Chain A
Amino acid sequence: EDQVTQSPEALRLQEGESSSLNCSYTVSGLRGLFWYRQDPGKGPEFLFTLYSAGEEKEKERLKATLTKKESFLHITAPKPEDSATYLCAVQGVGTNAGKSTFGDGTTLTVKP
């Protein structure tokens, strides 16, 4: 059974204070690891897909990296508008129909 654990549950940063969010996973063969951003009262919004260990993706102040056991979402010089819940999900090769297993998320608050 695929499992995803995200840490920390909540993270408070000052504007400009860089940090990282962690996503640890167990899966019998990784088809893809996804990062989503979720604002309060809204559906998850896609950020990145990572396929294999060593891969990195960047978008503005966010950078996602992947190893065989975990993924990190690095936030560089965050701004208050980066405040949101960040969700990690995996799809295993043993999973049919594109089903994803989600972690519980990390709620990021960036104070001005």
Chain B
Amino acid sequence: NAGVTQTPKFRILKIGQSMTLQCTQDMNHNYMYWYRQDPGMGLKLIYYSVGAGITDKGEVPNGYNVSRSTTEDFPLRLELAAPSQTSVYFCASIKSRDRGDTQYFGPGTRLTVL
């Protein structure tokens, strides 16, 4: 299994541009998450999904949108990029929310908005 994969690895955007961060998992996991990590900080939850067709907001959803049309894919859309969205973005997944299910993380996308 490849686990959780993310593309692109790096991206520079200009203010006002849009882009989609891709996330795919091949473990047949039901639950998927998008986090952002600012320098020296922990992870903040942006959006999450409990299955295909179902998404919900996390702690910091403003400026982002998601969709979940398949179990495998969970893309994150940035509309009208702003400098405050400069961060490293991680996608993660778990099989279910049973007791203590481990989150598997992707390698991250480093985004800079200038």
B56 and A97 form a contact (CB under 8 A):
yes
Taking residues whose C-beta sits less than 8 angstroms from the other chain, chain B's interface range is: 20 to 34
In the assembled complex, A21 has its CB within 8 A of some CB on chain B: no
CB distance from A80 to the nearest CB of B (A): 22
Q: How far is the CA of A103 from the CA of B58 in the complex (A)?
A: 16
Number of residues from A at the complex interface, CB < 8 A:
27
In the assembled complex, B103 has its CB within 8 A of some CB on chain A: yes
List residues of B (39-58) whose CB comes within 8 Å of A's CBs.
40-45, 48, 50, 56, 58
User: A41 contacts which chain B residues (CB < 8 A)?
Assistant: 108, 110
Residue of A nearest to B56 (CB): A97
B105 and A99 form a contact (CB under 8 A):
no
In the assembled complex, A105 has its CB within 8 A of some CB on chain B: yes
Please tell me which one of the listed residues B45, B97, B99, B105 contacts residue A43 in the complex, with CB atoms under 8 A apart. Answer: B105
Q: Which A positions have Cβ atoms within 8 angstroms of B? A: 4, 6, 9, 31-32, 34, 36, 41-46, 49, 51, 87, 89, 91, 96-100, 102-105
